[in-house]
Amino acid sequence: MSPPLDSGSAEEPSGDLRSVLVTSVLNLEPLDEDLYRGRHYWVPTTQRLFGGQIVGQALVAAAKSVSEDVHVHSLHCYFVRAGDPKVPVLYQVERTRTGASFSVRSVKAVQHGKAIFICQASFQKTQPSPIQHQFSMPSIPPPEELLSYEELVDKSLRDPELRKKCPIGLTRIAAQEVPIEIKLVDLPRLGQQKAKQMFWVRARGYIGEGDMKMHCCVAAYISDYAFLGTALLPHRYPVRFMVSLDHSMWFHAPFRADHWMLYECESPWAGGSRGLVHGRLWRRDGVLAVTCAQEGVMRVKQQKLESKL
């Protein structure tokens, strides 16, 4: 893939301001052929490993086993056990198939001798096609006109009502430690009518045009952040337990993960203690870059009155 033509992107830094997602989070340690070790950078308050980190690291491991002229077009993952944040993760790559146009890699993430995550990624050589279409990008304010996540945290800390209504953990620590920048288009609240939210997102720091494979790995990390919570927005129940079951991504066009992209998330269905969420990552120039889907377990604390009925 050639580097994207992305309008309205941030200026390139003059110094060494490489994104920590490249230098640390997605920088795997090779142990043997097709065997890598990944370490942790940010652990959520749940003390479970962040799913986006596992997806991103697994895609890095898979991408190391294919040639430079192929790029990931899809991945499908299952989270089978909770990750332990106290120990590293081992990634074992199986070269399932290497074809003329498509190559498939299977990745198993292991801790304590057991699989915690399995993934299949498919890579394709660039092929032109006369068949092209896409949805239209929503018309929303640009990121420059919106509050940063840190500014929103400060505002919520000064406004008790805003802090009480906000369904996501707006804490100063979370805003500082997550290696991605976020600007919410609208502040989502539990009990709102639609199971939908949109926010601008990009990696902190500089990645550069470089290898498109790395931008895809960074997008895999970003794609899991605040994603499943979209299914909770039409409801007022406080969360007791929420965890991803599976995660899929389709990569459509080249992009820069260190440039602002719009993440459009919506949940078409929830039931049976599970929720389904769809997502679209848009470039600023209106090109649909990535499509995502995820299902997860969601258990909530129901009101005492309802539990008696």
pTM of the model: 0.88
The angle at the Cα of 168, spanning 165 to 237, to the nearest 5 degrees, equals: 65
Hey, which residues are catalytic here? 224, 244, 294
The per-residue pLDDT for range 114-156, each reduced to its tens digit, is: 999 999 999 999 999 999 999 999 999 999 999 887 787 777 6
Q: Percentage of the chain with pLDDT > 90?
A: 69
Architecture per CATH, 20-125+143-300: Beta Barrel (2.40)
Mean pLDDT of the chain: 87
Residue 92 has pLDDT above 50, yes or no: yes
CB-side neighbour CA atoms (13 Å) of 142: 9
pLDDT in tens, 9-54: 444 443 346 789 999 999 999 999 999 999 988 777 777 899 999 9
Answer yes or no: is pLDDT of 95 > 60.
Answer: yes
The b/e string for 15-41 (b: 16+ C-beta within 10 A; e otherwise) is eeeebbbbeebbebeeeeebebebebb
Residue 240: band (very low, low, confident or very high) from pLDDT cuts 50, 70, 90 = confident
Please tell me the distance from the alpha carbon of residue 16 to that of residue 163, in angstroms, as a whole number: 37
**Domain residue spans of the chain:** 20-125+143-300
Report the pLDDT value the prediction gives residue 144, as an integer from 0 to 100: 96
